[in-house]
Structure 1
Amino acid sequence: MKLLSPDRWNVALLAIALIGLVSGIGLWAAGYSGLADYVWAGGVIPILAALIVEIIRSLRQGDLGLDIVAALSMSAALFFGETLAAAVVALMYSGGTLLESFAEVRARREMSDLLSRVPRTATIHHNGKLEEVPLDDVAPGDLLLIRQGDIAPVDGAVESGRALLDQSALTGESMPVRLEQGQAVMSGSTNAGETFDLRATHLAANSTYAGIVRLVEAAQKSKAPMVRLADRYSLLFLAVTIAMATLAWWFSGDPIRAVAVLVVATPCPLILAVPVALVAGLSRAAHYGVLIKGAKPLEALARIETMIVDKTGTLTEGRPKIVSIDALSDLTPDEMLFFAAGLDQGSKHPVAQAIVASAQQRGMHLPVPTDLVETPGEGITGRIDGHDVVVGGEDFVMGLAECARMDHPARSNGAVIVALAVDGQLVGHIEMADALRSGTIAFLKGLRRIGMKRILLATGDRLSVAEAVTDGLDLDGLRAELTPDQKVLLVLSERKNGPVMMVGDGVNDAPALAAADVGVAMGARGTAASAEAADVVLLVDQLDRLLPGLEIARRSRRIALESVGIGIGLSFVGMIAAALGYLAPVQGAVLQEVIDVAVILNALRVLNTVPLEA
């Protein structure tokens, strides 16, 4: 026998309660009050039975919630002949359950949209024709056709022409991005322009979008500390409710007052508002390109007072770029770049790869180097088009070129000077720098505006480089030449000043990300270790995306607490009124459900959050 889905089951229970209540009212109006009582009771019993089964299941899992109050109120109302009140409670309880389910679906909309867009197939060029293949069959190097409206199924690069891509589902940016030939394309982007070819660079399972989907699925299964806090306080509220109902019965001698107290406390906004508000916050943050791995880190993110940020690849681009080429001979800057890049093809050093990339971007056709000899951390020698070439640090090059040292221009902040010698003569310098991410100063100002108390830089780089790069930035401290375990110690020591957030992108940052109250990894395509250890992943390599995430987290927590405070306060007022005889059971049930609907709708306000820093 096929069981009903949770949503259909909730609808079925609501229909039973509604039919029972309306039919009973009809019979009562026709003068059949005795029969109406039976019909009302008949509509309540299935709801009560389903509720008891749910309570037993929760107790087996170690959860004790306010569903017990709902079961007690319906049971007490039936026992004392308040069948109409029981029917109203049954209708409102089943309706509230369905409303809560609807609210969570609405709150998860942005994350659900990410999951629903997952491509299943790809169109590839094969033997001169197009073939539709399962996504898992796509391999790096395959050439894919991306038609207008298609979603890029894997990470790759634009192979032909230009591409106009809508990345709003990943980053929240409403304007499409235009990419030139050779530029990287994130999987999950929608082709908003003409058809283009995409050269796959990753397997589907290792692509950006697949990583995002895995993180979203993990986020949807979480439970927040505030939700667990609500579970614990529900036990206290249950005890207070039963005590108040007992005292009302004891002092008045009227059991109906006890029934009224029970129904006015069913169910409590404490267990409705918190999960809805936090899940709505997760969804809203995803809209702005901030993937939070669950309600627990969302709640922790809202309380952060100290941020520790890595330098390379986080505060900076992480990719050295040529700042200037200073020629000291008859060679032109382009000729210098030709020799340096040609030789550097034989090195995997980040600076060497950056020089090669710069030459390729200028359309240079580089020759194959010969007689390569690399000295790790120093430089490389070899031959290019019959010329002896040396590229590397100035001391290394000068030691091999055997020529007089010549002054080079003053370097920029944090820059590296690469010397170049051709045929034994120093011909010039190439200045390389890992620049700050654009908008870094505005980002730090934004953090101060939203109340961040301490901002520190933690890096494994030399102190002089770190100081040069961060000169003029609004930082509270700088720690350089740190090993991964020293970054962990820094995170732990900063906890004395309040909850700590660590932002990084590399394998060396993973231990510190895991040790922090909230770990933030840069980019879904970043190092797998950092993304796994982090609680929050920025879907694009834009550090300023963290600002809207922080704002949304704080507003989600504020609205959740606000809903709980208002809801519980109104519930207590209603319970006191019922205990004093001012509310009948039916009136109390209706009042409580009005409160429940109000707090759920209030919690959904999180979905309308528009961060000032977005």
Structure 2
Amino acid sequence: MRKWTTWRTTGVAGALIILSFLAPSGVGDALMIAAAIVAGWQIALSALQALRVRMISIDLLVVVAATGALFIHNYWEAAAVTFLFALGKALERTTMSRTRRALSDLVESAPETATVLRGGEPVTRALWELRVGDTVLVRNGEQIPVDGRVLSGRGGVDESSITGESLPAEKAPEAQVYAGTWLRSGVLQVEALAIGSDSTLASIIHRVEEAQDDKAKTQTFLERFSRWYTPGVIVAALLVGAITRDIELALTLLVIACPGALVISIPVSIVAGIGRAAKDGVLIKGGEYLETAARVDTVVVDKTGTLTNGRPVLTDVVSLDPALSSDEILLLAARAETASEHPLAEAIIAGARERGLAVALVDSAENITGKGIIATVDGARVSVGSAALLTEAADGGQLQRFHQEGKTAMFVGLQGRAVGVIAVADTVRSDAAAAIAALHERGIRVVMATGDAQRVAHSVATSLGIDEVRAELLPEDKLAIVAELQAAGHTVAMIGDGVNDTPALAASDIGVAMGAAGSPAAIETADIALMADRLPRLAYALGLARRTVTTMRVNIAIALVTVALLVAGVILGGVTMSLGMLVHEGSVLLVLLIAMALLRPTLTDSQHAGPASADPARPASRPRSTALQHG
């Protein structure tokens, strides 16, 4: 309603000005006065409200100038100044509304009803009637109303409102889904885990609202500056009028010295930058963090779960016996490992099943602490582990080569003789190399800080081109590294996903949470939260922060140069009150247009690249035998 009223007032004032040029001189002057009053009453009201809280605003400068122009019978100047200022206000409000559209889109994406199973029958209920634990039915083309866990069904879910991902994420039983997303294929039954204000979508909306209202240090400085600047302009105009006895000159100085573009340059840039980031699945906590992120020159990154997938997988199977194929070696190892609950056992069994091998249970098994496992497979003695489990000597060259590559390698023995070697490793994320390359393109140094072994850390770092490796660290060691880098003058961003990373994340200049969708705690505590599990989004977020800060600086420069040129024009002659206001409002419009350029999508294919954002279903459980583990 307010925006419509502003535009209506501006339109009426503009029409009166046009009519004044067509009317006789006496009537024309009356129409000009009417135009000044129509365009200026809201400005005067705003100035009065500011004075009530002891603040001299820009609006007061315009009111004083327009009133003075009326007293010296310069009706055209009064009408033009108030009309142009009102027009600038209307454009400013419209632009700010547009820059906040990312938030309004999020709010509009919040569902209001849900289809719930009651006694096995689907019934429609308002969202507030749902309870945690309810089973919600979501059909193809419908919106998912709750955060929850898929109980049954499969389908593709458009999660762009949460993660910024353009492609649907495939969902299967045990996968996580979020309120406000859309099911594009299939049918799902979802157990409700978070509803309404407790959902991830609500956390995002709350965070973006706070972030867009949060002030950058530059904005805070400019607001303090304007509190002194505006009264200073009034005093300067009074002195000029007293010295020159030229009231029109003094009034013109009041108008052209308005710091309107200066005041609007920062908030509109912050709102646009944070809004664009939210649209792309990156939550930035506020203007201060946006400015800090723009200065980041060093990123400290954890390895496990950040640069790697965080779970071991089978990487190599080598046969040492010409009579046995690699699949036969793998099947022997996998069957022996069915008696173990060790994570490496899970990787070996999963690798065998991926090759289509039928992994049956073993007859019996024995765990040998610190060495591995020995099992009876179809009457044969099969061992998986170190050479100590073998009765015959074996060449360890292949094991050594795998170890140098950062892999965990084990002998597969048959009747005490080594017949093969298998290796598992925590594999590097498919998008990690692109992420590191993108950071390097922005001149950002990357330091790996991990608790993993030196050889494993160096292997991963070498493959990704990481600048520096710190391995075998305790949580306090990571904290010390961050402090050391900051002491050397670096602005440090830390990205990690584990509890052991928390101290370093808190101490860093910018703490980054990756894959924060579904984690309200991460959304609330991180300075920057990457909603999708996409490492390249870090480079995108830092790049957007730099673009936003550059936009702020350009806008400040435009505002200051405009005021300086106008003051010079008034002193040298040739710049009238109306011309000064026209140029002033032109600078405001230019600042707004430059800030709005931040709303353009800039997320590239490489930043979308990587593993699907769908939450993988939990691996199917396998029959348990004696809970044996590798040492």
Q: TM-score range by the shorter chain?
A: 0.7 to 0.9
Pick from 150, 167, 170 the counterpart of residue 143 of structure 2.
Answer: 150
- What SS does structure 2 have at the residue aligned with 1:497? coil
| Alpha carbons of structure 1 residues 46 and 293: separation in structure 2 relative to 1, 3 Å | same
Q: Which residue in the other structure is 1:462 paired with?
A: 453
CA distance in 2, matches of 1:359, 1:103: 58
CA distance in 1, matches of 2:522, 2:314: 28
TM-score of the superposition, structure 1-length normalised? 0.81
**1:523: Cα distance to partner?**
0.9
**1:263: Cα distance to partner?**
1.4
| Alpha carbons of structure 1 residues 371 and 322: separation in structure 2 relative to 1, 3 Å | closer
- What SS does structure 2 have at the residue aligned with 1:192? strand
Is the Cα contact below 8 Å between 2:253 and 2:567 reproduced in 1?
Answer: yes
**How do residues 289-308 of structure 1 correspond to structure 2 at under 5 angstroms?**
289-308=281-300
Pick from 471, 481, 485 the counterpart of residue 480 of structure 1.
Answer: 471
Is the Cα contact below 8 Å between 2:448 and 2:469 reproduced in 1?
Answer: yes
Pick from 191, 208, 211 the counterpart of residue 219 of structure 1.
Answer: 211
Q: Which residue in the other structure is 1:260 paired with?
A: 252
Percent identical residues = 30
Q: Which residue in the other structure is 2:42 paired with?
A: 47
Is the Cα contact below 8 Å between 1:374 and 1:380 reproduced in 2?
Answer: yes
Is the Cα contact below 8 Å between 2:336 and 2:374 reproduced in 1?
Answer: no
Residue ranges of structure 2 left out of the alignment (5+ in a row): 608-631
CA distance in 1, matches of 2:131, 2:410: 40
Q: Which residue in the other structure is 2:538 paired with?
A: 546
Q: Does 1:441 align with 2:438?
A: no
CA distance in 1, matches of 2:512, 2:126: 33
Question: Structure 1 stretch 321-330 or stretch 360-369: which is displaced more?
Answer: 360-369
**1:173: Cα distance to partner?**
4.1
Q: Which residue in the other structure is 1:5 paired with?
A: none
CA distance in 1, matches of 2:272, 2:558: 19
2:481 partner letter: L
Q: Which residue in the other structure is 1:160 paired with?
A: 153
Question: Structure 1 stretch 434-443 or stretch 351-360: which is displaced more?
Answer: 351-360
Q: Which residue in the other structure is 1:12 paired with?
A: 5
**Cα deviations across residues 360-400 of structure 1 (Å, max 9, x unaligned)?**
8779798899999998xx699899999999999759xx6xx
**1:478: Cα distance to partner?**
1.4
CA distance in 2, matches of 1:419, 1:117: 55
| Alpha carbons of structure 1 residues 501 and 93: separation in structure 2 relative to 1, 3 Å | same
TM-score of the superposition, structure 2-length normalised? 0.79
Q: Does 1:593 align with 2:585?
A: yes
**1:487: Cα distance to partner?**
2.1
Is the Cα contact below 8 Å between 2:334 and 2:345 reproduced in 1?
Answer: no
Paired residues, number: 591
**How do residues 98-497 of structure 1 correspond to structure 2 at under 5 angstroms?**
98-135=90-127, 137=130, 139=132, 142=135, 144-151=137-144, 153-157=146-150, 159-161=152-154, 163-178=155-170, 185=177, 188-193=180-185, 195-200=186-191, 202-204=193-195, 208-235=200-227, 237-238=229-230, 241-242=233-234, 244-324=236-316, 333-334=330-331, 336-341=333-338, 343-344=340-341, 351=344, 394=386, 407=396, 409=399, 410-411=401-402, 413-417=405-409, 431-452=423-444, 454-495=445-486, 496-497=488-489
2:140 partner letter: R
Q: Which residue in the other structure is 1:32 paired with?
A: 27
Pick from 554, 570, 574 the counterpart of residue 562 of structure 2.
Answer: 570
**1:13: Cα distance to partner?**
4.7
Residue ranges of structure 1 left out of the alignment (5+ in a row): 1-7
Q: Does 1:537 align with 2:529?
A: yes
**Cα deviations across residues 320-345 of structure 1 (Å, max 9, x unaligned)?**
2222456899976346435524542x
CA distance in 1, matches of 2:372, 2:134: 30
Is the Cα contact below 8 Å between 2:148 and 2:191 reproduced in 1?
Answer: yes
**CA RMSD across the alignment:** 4.3
Q: Which residue in the other structure is 1:3 paired with?
A: none
Is the Cα contact below 8 Å between 1:381 and 1:391 reproduced in 2?
Answer: yes
Is the Cα contact below 8 Å between 2:58 and 2:260 reproduced in 1?
Answer: yes
**1:225: Cα distance to partner?**
2.0
CA distance in 2, matches of 1:340, 1:457: 33
1:340 partner letter: E
Is the Cα contact below 8 Å between 1:158 and 1:197 reproduced in 2?
Answer: yes
CA distance in 2, matches of 1:115, 1:105: 14
